[in-house]
Amino acid sequence: MKKEEVPQDESNLASANFREMVYAVDDDGKYTTSLSTGWNPKKIALDNAIKEIEERIANAKKRVLNNETSPIEYYMEVHKMDLPVLASYVGMWQWRVKRHFKPSVFKRLNQKTLKKYADVFEISIEQLKSIDDEES
Amino acid sequence: MTKNLKIDFAHNQSAHCENGVVSNLMKHNGFDISEPMVFGIGSGLLFSYLPFLKVNYAPVFTYRSMPGFIFNKFAKRTGIKMKREKFKNPKLAKARLDQNLAKNNPVGLQVGVYNLVYFPDEYRFHFNAHNMVVYGKQGDRYLISDPVMEEVTSLTEKELEKVRFAKGAFAPKGHMYYPISFPEKLELETAIVKGIKQTARDMTAPVPIVGVKAMRWVAKNIRKWPKKLGPKKANHYLGQIVRMQEEIGTGGGGFRYIYAAFLQEASAMLNNPKLMKLSKEMTSIGDAWRDFAVDASRIYKNRNAESNGYEDVAVQLEALADREEQFFKTLKKTV
């Protein structure tokens, strides 16, 4: 890539006010560095990944309201987590966390276990029990 | 510890975090080592496909070696002794960090990205292999030199503890590292040759999950994805390939260009003009990776539409595998 070809497309980097550094060759064929504001193929990939997460959140919310899963799964999606990541944060086996997705099991969870989840999601136990307040 | 402590540390932005931390720490200790030099000697370039390991609901593709590997190899090959510490207890991790700062010693930290508040929200995923340098403390804020950022920044004690103790794959466990002793003169020439030899060996290894063989395996799977997974998931996977290629701070076939820059520098140091020629070829391979990303993005731009572009990108990936195979075979013989 030549220095003048370094992409300067619009990207989400602007929101944090920084540009990324890339390596490119100058007119004499020598390597140098240059700053890039972003690149479209990358932005599309990232935008799609974000949309995917938003869909997962919406879907989880629907299933909580239909009593098909517990709010734990919803908050897991909100925090861009998957089962292995959440299990690692709360320090429980994956199968146990998965069991807590069952609304019937979730209802019977003790305060201590609920608090573990609430702490990871940085919300109160009350908020953990209902997802209605969390309009996003 | 005094309330205000600021070590005289020069922040230089880099394309990739791990190289950048090493390069900046070396410069701080009086050795002018560039980012590409660290990347080349540390054998950072790679391709790997781990279909069994899922991140963000898609398989893992990586264009560089495992976190921490670059620094380890670089230190070993140049004769530098490193100190590494991991912690179970966050309080102890903080105390050890403070001790080092009080001794005027800036340290490298491995951290998770998800809670890195100065990153744009969209980039904050559960990715635990980011690296930064802490070079001081003012009040309750740690002074941070994050090599992918243009400027230095800072984090509160609580914010820093959170990223040091992020959980999930590659959990950093407070991982802190810094050089403790240096040889009188760095033996860069032999280190460069060792670094090149390993990269050439790994890229042409007879193992399906690394190097050109992994690229061919991905190409084969790309052809199957639309039928096997449906257009939506197939596009998600394809997007993951590009996102890993264009991971933050590596813009545009990123690692291939850093490697080309390394070969250029190595050519001068070893007085080997053949490496200069190979640097040009690596630049051209980097350009081809960019073309691949552009074409892949055309497919996943329209997320749910049926597309027949998969065959095209699979062919491109195979062509890249052929070129890189040829490249690394030649490179092996050149040093």
Handedness of CA B156, B157, B162, B164 (dihedral sign): positive
Q: What is the pLDDT of residue B169?
A: 83
Q: Which amino acid is at B81?
A: K
Q: Is B140 helix (H, G, I), strand (E, B) or coil?
A: coil
B122 contact residues in A (CB cutoff 8 A): 12, 15, 46, 50
CA angle centred on A30, ends A7 and B69, rounded to 5°: 75
CA distances from A85 to A48, A120, B123, B126 (A): 21, 11, 17, 8
Residues B253 and B220: beta-carbon distance below 8 Å = no
pLDDT at B263 over 80: yes
Tokens 């040091």 found at: B164
Tokens 């200069």 found at: B276
Whether residue A46 is contained in a domain is answered as no
Cβ neighbors of B166 (< 8 A, separation 6 or more) are: B111, B112, B113, B114, B115, B126, B128, B172
Q: Is B172 helix (H, G, I), strand (E, B) or coil?
A: coil
Q: What is the pLDDT of residue B122?
A: 83
Whether residue A135 is contained in a domain is answered as no
Among partner residues A16, A22, A40, which is closest to B257 by beta-carbon distance?
Answer: A22
Q: Is B223 helix (H, G, I), strand (E, B) or coil?
A: helix
Rounded CA separation B312/B219 (Å): 10
Rounded to the nearest integer, the mean pLDDT of chain B is 92
The CATH homologous superfamily for domain B4-33+81-181 is Cysteine proteinases (3.90.70.10)
Q: What is the pLDDT of residue B60?
A: 87
Domain ranges of chain B: 4-33+81-181, 188-334
Q: What is the pLDDT of residue B64?
A: 83
Q: What is the pLDDT of residue A78?
A: 95
DSSP state of A14: G
Cβ neighbors of A28 (< 8 A, separation 6 or more) are: none
- Provide the 10 A C-beta neighbour count for residue B34: 20
- Whether A66 contacts chain B with CB within 8 A: no
Residues 42-61, chain A, touching B (beta carbon < 8 A): 42, 44-46, 48-52
DSSP state of B47: E
| Inter-chain residue contact A80 with B124, CB threshold 8 Å | yes
- Count of structural domains within chain A: 2
pLDDT above 90 coverage of chain B, percent: 75
Q: What is the pLDDT of residue B307?
A: 64
Residues 69-88, chain A, touching B (beta carbon < 8 A): 79-82, 84-85, 88
Better-scored residue on pLDDT, B251 or B307: B307
Q: Best of B60, B64, B126, B294 to disrupt the A interface by mutation (most A CBs within 10 Å)?
A: B126
pLDDT at B249 over 60: no
Q: What is the pLDDT of residue B306?
A: 61
Rounded CA separation A67/A69 (Å): 6
Q: What is the pLDDT of residue B247?
A: 65
pLDDT tens for B33-42 read 999 999 999 9
Whether residue A65 is contained in a domain is answered as yes
Quick one: A34 and A59 in the same domain? no
Alpha helices in chain B (DSSP H): 17-28, 35-41, 69-78, 90-102, 157-164, 188-203, 211-245, 254-270, 273-301, 310-334
Whether residue A30 is contained in a domain is answered as yes
Residues written for chain A: 136
Give DSSP secondary structure letters for A61-114: HHHHHTTSS-HHHHHHHHTT--HHHHHHHHTS-HHHHHHTTSHHHHHT--HHHH
Whether residue A89 is contained in a domain is answered as yes
Quick one: A31 and A91 in the same domain? no
- Whether B122 contacts chain A with CB within 8 A: yes
DSSP state of B152: -
| Inter-chain residue contact A41 with B246, CB threshold 8 Å | yes
Where residue A11 falls among pLDDT bands split at 50, 70, 90?
confident
CATH number for A58: 1.10.260
- Whether A132 contacts chain B with CB within 8 A: no
Q: What is the pLDDT of residue B303?
A: 65
pLDDT at B251 over 70: no
Residues written for chain B: 335
Q: What is the pLDDT of residue A136?
A: 45
Among partner residues B56, B150, B167, which is closest to A88 by beta-carbon distance?
Answer: B167
B15 contact residues in A (CB cutoff 8 A): 20-23, 33
Q: Is B45 helix (H, G, I), strand (E, B) or coil?
A: strand
- Whether A6 contacts chain B with CB within 8 A: yes
Give DSSP secondary structure letters for B75-93: HHHHT-EEEEE--S-HHHH
Tokens 């290894």 found at: B205
Rounded to the nearest integer, the mean pLDDT of chain A is 91
Residues 27-66, chain B, touching A (beta carbon < 8 A): 36, 54, 56-57
Q: What is the pLDDT of residue B28?
A: 96
Whether residue A8 is contained in a domain is answered as yes
Better-scored residue on pLDDT, B232 or A58: A58
Handedness of CA A90, A93, A97, A100 (dihedral sign): negative
Quick one: A57 and A96 in the same domain? yes
Residues B22 and B13: beta-carbon distance below 8 Å = no
| Inter-chain residue contact B300 with A48, CB threshold 8 Å | yes
Residues B253 and B290: beta-carbon distance below 8 Å = yes
Mean pLDDT of B296-317: 82
Q: What is the pLDDT of residue B123?
A: 85
Mean pLDDT of B164-188: 93
| Inter-chain residue contact B280 with A15, CB threshold 8 Å | no
Tokens 């490298």 found at: B108
Query: By residue range, what is the domain housing residue A114?
Result: 52-129
By C-alpha distance, which of B50, B219, B232 is closest to A48?
B232
- Whether A30 contacts chain B with CB within 8 A: yes
Q: What is the pLDDT of residue A135?
A: 47
pLDDT at B167 over 80: yes
Residues 276-315, chain B, touching A (beta carbon < 8 A): 279-280, 283, 286-287, 290, 293-294, 296-297, 300-301, 303
B167 contact residues in A (CB cutoff 8 A): 85, 88-89
Least reliable range by pLDDT among A49-58, B78-87, B159-168, B252-261: B252-261
pLDDT tens for A44-96 read 888 888 899 999 999 999 999 999 999 999 999 999 999 999 999 999 999 99
Quick one: A61 and A33 in the same domain? no
Most confident of B124-128, B247-251, B266-270: B266-270
Quick one: A58 and A105 in the same domain? yes
Q: What is the pLDDT of residue B246?
A: 66
* Tokens (6 digits) for B209: 């999950």
Among partner residues A16, A19, A25, which is closest to B118 by beta-carbon distance?
Answer: A16
Rounded CA separation B32/B38 (Å): 11
* Three-class SS of A30-41: CEEEEEECECHH
Rounded CA separation B1/A121 (Å): 33
Task: Establish how many alpha carbons lie within 13 A of residue A53's alpha carbon, considering only the half-sphere containing its beta carbon.
Answer: 22
pLDDT at B207 over 60: yes
Mean pLDDT of A13-40: 89
